[in-house]
């Protein structure tokens, strides 16, 4: 008589447990360690060596970085001193000038990298790090780690500013489709206006930093219409704010963000805080807001942030077909101050997909850490918003640029540009705004 299904499953399960026990018993501690290191990659074992990575990360993020580095340390024997400091930028300069530079520094702006390279203390990246960056990053990212033709620093994390926030629930209610081209975006704006809706939310208020969201809106349009070279020349002031190319970008921003048909009270944008700007999206008080990926944190816990929920984001479409996948954002770079074997092994690891995957895992389901490394599979992201942002950041053919106002002299990018763009929304003419910003540019 044959066995019934329940009994049969019990016998199979027992047999499987027995086989598993036999397999586990035959795996030596060395084999187990090798299996654990397989996900890290192949790096030379250098027990007893210590590499300091100086950076500006503190608190919970500091702990996540340290957790992500454990496997590499265990597998190579290299101890990594992850040295986070609030006064990172000032202390890095002091240490470099004083002859006590860290082995590696995680540098948050290309301008600071250039400043460090000018000291003569930064060493060029090793061959494997260069090969990794050539393989896994777009040319734009490599360019930001390059100074005067020499590649020094591999990218680390990234953030995406080229997003538009909206409500999937409200779009479904009104029969709207997420646009994938600029023309579709403007046609959707028209549909919303025809229904009496505020198509575009906006807010410039941010305390002493009031005006910065306006700089992002302008930067997105300069990039999308003119491309990376004009964008770079604008940052260096080879292309002035009064240049016809930049004036045309002002006009493009005005066509939707200063258009009463789309935004209602234009002047109110100057007095609305950026935090409050998008709070009406879940209830359709306003429909869309151009803001960075970090904006999810501005919503209260009872607002569902998901692709089918109260709020989500889509990619801000391009305008000029010659500018492929334009993306504005930011990130950090790992630069080394010596060429020791241990330092180079750490540089090689930190430029690999394995490092990015480990760091993403350390962030957990809440996410908040992205990489533009295209060797990272989409499945590595358990946070949907991170996966959405990374899709465009890691596009090998993307036209990636850093936030221009952050790269301009502080007196301009964090000074007159903020104040003048605020004035622009309250009625000052484009020509006068551009002239005032140009006049404030440092002569040195």
% of the chain beyond a pLDDT of 70: 92
DSSP string, 359-375: HHHHH-TT---EE--TT
At residue 220, what are phi and psi to the nearest 5 degrees? -60, -40
* Residue pair 302/214 in contact by the 8 Å Cβ criterion: no
The answer as to whether 30 is a domain residue is no
Q: Which of 421, 436, 409, 402 is nearest to 232 (CA)?
A: 402
Q: Which residues pair with 291 in a beta bridge?
A: 163
User: What confidence score (pLDDT) does residue 38 get?
Assistant: 77
Tens digits of residue pLDDT in 359-400 = 999 999 989 899 999 999 999 999 999 999 999 999 999 999
With the C-alpha atoms ordered 399, 400, 405, 407, is the resulting torsion angle positive or negative? Answer: negative
Checking if the pLDDT of 31 tops 70, the result is no
| pTM of the predicted model as reported, rounded to 2 decimal places | 0.85
The answer as to whether 24 is a domain residue is no
Domain, as residue range, for 91? 46-159+330-394
Checking if the pLDDT of 215 tops 90, the result is yes
* Residue pair 275/203 in contact by the 8 Å Cβ criterion: yes
Q: Which residues pair with 35 in a beta bridge?
A: none
Return the axis-axis angle of helices 353-363 and 59-68, rounded to nearest 10°.
Answer: 130
Checking if the pLDDT of 234 tops 70, the result is yes
Same domain, 118 and 103: yes
Checking if the pLDDT of 12 tops 50, the result is no
Lowest mean pLDDT among 26-40, 189-203, 305-319, 417-431: 26-40
User: What confidence score (pLDDT) does residue 37 get?
Assistant: 85
Tens digits of residue pLDDT in 95-135 = 999 999 999 999 988 889 999 999 999 999 999 999 999 99
CA distance 56 to 62: 9
* Residue pair 390/381 in contact by the 8 Å Cβ criterion: yes
Tokens of 166: 């909206």
Same domain, 102 and 60: yes
Checking if the pLDDT of 430 tops 70, the result is yes
Checking if the pLDDT of 186 tops 60, the result is yes
pLDDT mean over 70-96: 94
Same domain, 154 and 174: no
CA distance 329 to 319: 18
Q: Which of 54, 200, 138 is nearest to 372 (CA)?
A: 138
The 8-class DSSP code of residue 138 comes to -
Same domain, 416 and 364: no
At residue 276, what are phi and psi to the nearest 5 degrees? -80, -20
Question: What CATH number is given to the structural domain containing 65?
Answer: 3.40.190.10
User: What confidence score (pLDDT) does residue 23 get?
Assistant: 32
% of the chain beyond a pLDDT of 90: 85
pLDDT mean over 249-258: 98
User: Which band of pLDDT confidence, cut at 50, 70 and 90, is reported for residue 34?
Assistant: low
Q: Which of 266, 252, 150 is nearest to 200 (CA)?
A: 266
The answer as to whether 79 is a domain residue is yes
Tokens of 225: 């219409």
Checking if the pLDDT of 166 tops 70, the result is yes
Q: Which residues contact 245 (CB under 8 A, 6 or more apart)?
A: 222, 225, 226, 230, 239
The answer as to whether 389 is a domain residue is yes
Same domain, 144 and 100: yes
User: What confidence score (pLDDT) does residue 19 get?
Assistant: 30
Lowest mean pLDDT among 17-31, 290-304, 383-397: 17-31
The answer as to whether 247 is a domain residue is yes
User: What confidence score (pLDDT) does residue 33 get?
Assistant: 52
Average pLDDT across the chain, whole number: 91
At residue 50, what are phi and psi to the nearest 5 degrees? -125, 135
């Amino acid at each position: 008589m044959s066995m019934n299904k329940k009994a049969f499953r019990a016998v199979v399960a027992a047999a499987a447990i027995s086989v598993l026990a036999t397999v586990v018993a035959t795996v030596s501690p060395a084999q187990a360690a090798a299996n654990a290191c397989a996900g890290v990659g192949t790096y030379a074992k250098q027990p007893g060596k210590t590499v300091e990575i100086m950076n500006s990360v503190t608190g919970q993020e500091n702990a996540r970085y340290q957790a992500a580095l454990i496997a590499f340390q265990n597998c190579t024997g290299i101890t990594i001193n992850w040295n986070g400091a609030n006064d990172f930028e000032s202390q890095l300069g002091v240490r470099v000038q004083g002859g006590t530079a860290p082995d590696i520094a995680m540098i948050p702006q290309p301008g600071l990298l250039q400043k460090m390279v000018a000291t003569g203390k930064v060493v060029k990246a090793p061959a494997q790090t260069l090969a990794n960056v050539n393989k896994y990053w777009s040319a734009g990212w490599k360019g930001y780690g390059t100074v005067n033709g020499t590649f020094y620093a591999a990218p680390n994390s990234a953030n995406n500013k080229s997003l538009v926030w909206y409500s999937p629930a409200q779009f479904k209610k009104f029969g709207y489709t997420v646009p994938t081209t600029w023309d579709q975006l403007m046609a959707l704006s028209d549909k919303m206006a025809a229904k009496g809706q505020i198509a575009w939310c906006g807010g410039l208020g941010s305390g002493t930093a009031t005006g910065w969201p306006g700089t992002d809106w302008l930067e997105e349009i300069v990039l999308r219409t003119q491309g990376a070279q004009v964008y770079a020349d604008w940052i260096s002031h080879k292309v002035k704010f009064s240049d016809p190319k930049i004036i045309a970008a002002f006009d493009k921003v005005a066509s939707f963000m200063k258009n009463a048909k789309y935004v209602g009270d234009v002047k109110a944008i100057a007095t609305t805080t950026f935090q409050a700007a998008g709070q009406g999206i879940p209830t359709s008080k306003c429909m869309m807001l151009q803001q960075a990926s970090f904006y999810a944190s501005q919503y209260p816990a009872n607002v569902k942030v998901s692709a089918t929920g109260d709020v989500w984001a889509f990619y801000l479409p391009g305008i000029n077909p010659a500018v492929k996948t334009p993306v504005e954002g930011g990130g950090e770079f790992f630069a080394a101050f010596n060429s020791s074997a241990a330092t180079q092994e750490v540089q090689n690891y930190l430029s690999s997909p394995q490092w990015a995957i480990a760091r993403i895992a350390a962030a957990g389901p809440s996410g908040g850490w992205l990489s533009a490394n295209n060797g990272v599979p989409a499945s590595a992201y358990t946070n949907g918003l991170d996966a959405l942002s990374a899709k465009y950041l890691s596009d090998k053919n993307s036209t990636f640029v850093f936030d221009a106002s952050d790269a301009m002299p502080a007196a301009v990018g964090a000074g007159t540009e903020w104040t003048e763009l605020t004035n622009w929304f309250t009625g000052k003419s484009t020509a006068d705004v551009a002239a005032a910003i140009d006049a404030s540019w440092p002569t040195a």
